[in-house]
């Protein structure tokens, strides 16, 4: 009985490719929307060119997707495509080298009394670089799809596409490496070293176009460096196209020390056109064929047995045995207790109950194409750390097309309950910061509002992750790769 129940899910990972009509539509869409999604490729010297055979006509390609039924007709989406098409043509012959040459970075010289890094613009500065785009709107409105469509059609070798969280992780890693490489300082020679601008120059030398998915600011460590980081990127001619659920003025809303962050918003608006894409439709929630049952309730009879049976079915094609697996992330050892090949069977506590972050979830997404998450509790604001980790986990799994099977305490639309609020650690934090009254209220509001806002995206993504097309796209088996090629 259990095998028959889970069979539709297993079929979706292989035999569903035999549905010719669906396959043609899906592959047609994938040919335009499969961008370089993995941050590990950021440092590569070349990115793929537009795979289209129609002279990279992004507008015509978009219209054909609509006519083929792969996309629904959406006037707002087409309006955005028309504007992106103009930038695509500009970038065909664009290079930021002239801006790099016209900006001289005088690096700090420790042997010369620790002279601070400054930028000196040469005379005869070139005309301003082309403006990028900041596309924002509600969840599921097609922002990422349009950005990937644009990215795949840009004929430029120096382009990179990355999730914003992964980008910031790499920025902090580069900053740390630069600080570690400094010679030890002696008392009396403790001049502050600023590594942000040199790191931005490194990025500017690697790429002329940066495409960011899910631009968001929730960390004060990110907030304090963004103006200087992006100010340098923009001055050196890097063009940015980003998607976000927040309009620029709402970034880091109610965040701690937000006054220091506001100048970044001005810089962002100055170098990027702000475009709202919000038709009021969440395309992830529209009727799509499902990949069988992938979301189970803890109270359902035999729910655990169904997951066990599905795990066994999926691991039949694996070439290894079921066993724990140790993952090394930045020198730390992370153990997943039950894995088999590209399938990981985890608990919520294993993934979100311990201090893991985006870099850990990126490694999990790299190693596994299917992740089981068991015993997800009803989430409240008293579990803010776990909620943040779960949201970050799903963001990374979704961005890398990792398939997810869940066993949860409540239906998806009731999984996150907006109650609980301030806990003992919040009160301790407020005491440590010496905050009270209005300042304390603003910080508590910020921590609660961000979780509520971000989880709307999580719910939308988890719905899409249960569809037939998502499940098929996430199959990394050799058979599926061959059929897709």
> In this structure, are residues 336 and 344 in contact, taking their beta carbons and an 8 Å threshold?
yes
Bridge partners for 403 per DSSP: 370
Categorize the per-residue pLDDT at 35 as very low, low, confident or very high, splitting at 50, 70 and 90: very low
Please tell me the distance from the alpha carbon of residue 135 to that of residue 128, in angstroms, as a whole number.
Answer: 21
Categorize the per-residue pLDDT at 449 as very low, low, confident or very high, splitting at 50, 70 and 90: low
E-strand stretches of 20-171 = 103-106, 118-121, 132-136, 159-163
> In this structure, are residues 419 and 380 in contact, taking their beta carbons and an 8 Å threshold?
yes
Rg (CA), the chain: 24
Bridge partners for 408 per DSSP: 297, 376
Range name among 35-44, 236-245, 271-280, 318-327 with the lowest pLDDT average? 35-44
DSSP state of 183: P
| Residues contacting 16, CB < 8 A, separation 6+ | 22, 468, 471, 472
| Residues contacting 164, CB < 8 A, separation 6+ | 212, 213, 214, 215, 216, 242
The token pair at 251 is 């970034």
Closest CA to 165 of 253, 227, 270, 244: 244
E-strand stretches of 37-123 = 103-106, 118-121
**Top-confidence range, 109-113, 192-196, 340-344:** 340-344
Residue 295 sits at φ, ψ, to 5 deg, of -125, 115
Closest CA to 11 of 231, 417, 229, 292: 292
pLDDT exceeds 90 at position 36: no
Global pTM reads 0.68
Mean pLDDT value of segment 123-152: 89
Residue 369 sits at φ, ψ, to 5 deg, of -100, -10
Bridge partners for 163 per DSSP: 213
Percent share of the chain, pLDDT over 70: 73
Percent share of the chain, pLDDT over 90: 47
Categorize the per-residue pLDDT at 247 as very low, low, confident or very high, splitting at 50, 70 and 90: very high
Three-class secondary structure of residue 470 per DSSP: helix
Give the alpha-carbon dihedral of 132, 137, 140, 143, to 10 degrees. Answer: -10
Q: Which residues of 46-81 are buried (b: 16+ CB within 10 A; e: fewer)?
A: ebeebebeeebebeebbebbeeeebbeebebbeebb
CA geometry: angle 30, 31, 36, nearest 5 deg: 80
CA 35 → CA 149, 212, 407, distances in Å? 8, 12, 31
pLDDT exceeds 50 at position 282: yes
Range name among 93-97, 172-176, 217-221, 227-231 with the lowest pLDDT average? 217-221
Better pLDDT: 57 or 254: 57
CATH of domain 34-276: 3.40.50.300
Range name among 2-6, 116-120, 329-333, 340-344 with the lowest pLDDT average? 2-6
DSSP state of 383: G
Better pLDDT: 263 or 446: 263
Closest CA to 315 of 362, 369, 367: 369
Condensed to tens digits (0 to 9), the pLDDT of residues 332-372 reads 899 999 999 999 999 999 999 999 988 899 999 999 999 99
Domain boundaries, the chain: 34-276, 292-484
10 Å Cβ neighbour count for 226? Answer: 21
């Amino acid at each position: 009985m259990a095998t028959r129940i889970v069979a539709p899910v297993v079929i979706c990972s292989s035999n569903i490719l035999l549905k010719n009509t669906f396959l043609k539509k899906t592959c047609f869409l994938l040919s335009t929307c499969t961008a370089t999604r993995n941050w590990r490729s950021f440092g590569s010297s070349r990115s793929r060119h537009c795979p289209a055979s129609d002279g990279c006509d992004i507008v015509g390609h978009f219209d054909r997707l609509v006519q083929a039924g792969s996309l629904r007709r959406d006037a707002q989406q087409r309006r955005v495509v028309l504007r992106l098409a103009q930038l695509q043509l500009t970038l065909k012959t664009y290079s930021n080298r002239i801006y790099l040459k016209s900006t001289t970075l005088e690096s700090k010289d420790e042997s010369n009394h620790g002279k601070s890094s400054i930028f000196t613009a040469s005379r005869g500065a070139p005309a301003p670089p082309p403006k990028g785009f900041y596309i924002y709107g509600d969840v599921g409105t097609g922002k990422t799809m349009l950005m990937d469509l644009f990215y795949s059609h840009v004929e430029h070798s120096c382009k990179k596409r990355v999730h914003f969280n992964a980008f910031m992780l790499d920025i902090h890693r580069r900053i740390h490496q630069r600080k570690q490489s400094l010679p030890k300082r002696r008392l009396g020679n403790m001049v502050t070293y600023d590594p942000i601008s040199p790191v931005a120059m490194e990025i500017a030398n690697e790429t002329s176009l940066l495409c960011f998915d899910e631009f968001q600011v929730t960390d004060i460590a990110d907030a304090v460096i963004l103006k200087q980081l992006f100010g340098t990127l923009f001055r050196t001619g890097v063009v940015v196209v980003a998607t976000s659920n927040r309009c620029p003025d709402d970034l880091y809303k109610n965040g701690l020390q937000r006054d220091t962050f506001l100048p970044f918003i001005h810089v962002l608006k100055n170098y990027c056109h702000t475009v709202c894409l919000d038709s009021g439709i969440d395309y992830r929630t529209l009727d799509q064929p499902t990949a069988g049952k992938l979301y189970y309730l803890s109270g359902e009879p035999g729910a655990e047995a169904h997951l066990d049976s599905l795990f066994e079915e999926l691991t039949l094609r694996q070439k290894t045995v079921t066993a724990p697996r140790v993952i090394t992330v930045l020198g730390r050892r992370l153990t997943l207790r039950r894995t088999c090949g590209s399938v990981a069977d985890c608990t919520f506590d294993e993934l979100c109950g311990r201090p893991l972050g985006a870099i850990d979830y990126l490694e999990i997404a790299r190693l596994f194409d299917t992740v089981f998450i068991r015993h997800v509790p009803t989430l409240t604001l008293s579990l803010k750390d776990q909620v943040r980790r779960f949201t970050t986990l799903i963001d990374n799994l979704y961005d890398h097309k990792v398939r997810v099977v869940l066993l949860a305490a409540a239906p998806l639309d009731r999984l996150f309950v907006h109650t609980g609020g301030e806990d003992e650690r919040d009160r301790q934090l407020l005491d440590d910061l010496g905050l009270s009254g209005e300042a304390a209220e603003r910080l508590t509001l910020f921590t609660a509002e961000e979780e509520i806002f971000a989880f709307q995206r999580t719910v939308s993504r988890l719905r899409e992750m249960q569809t037939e097309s998502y499940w098929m796209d996430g199959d990394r088996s050799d058979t599926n790769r061959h059929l897709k090629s």
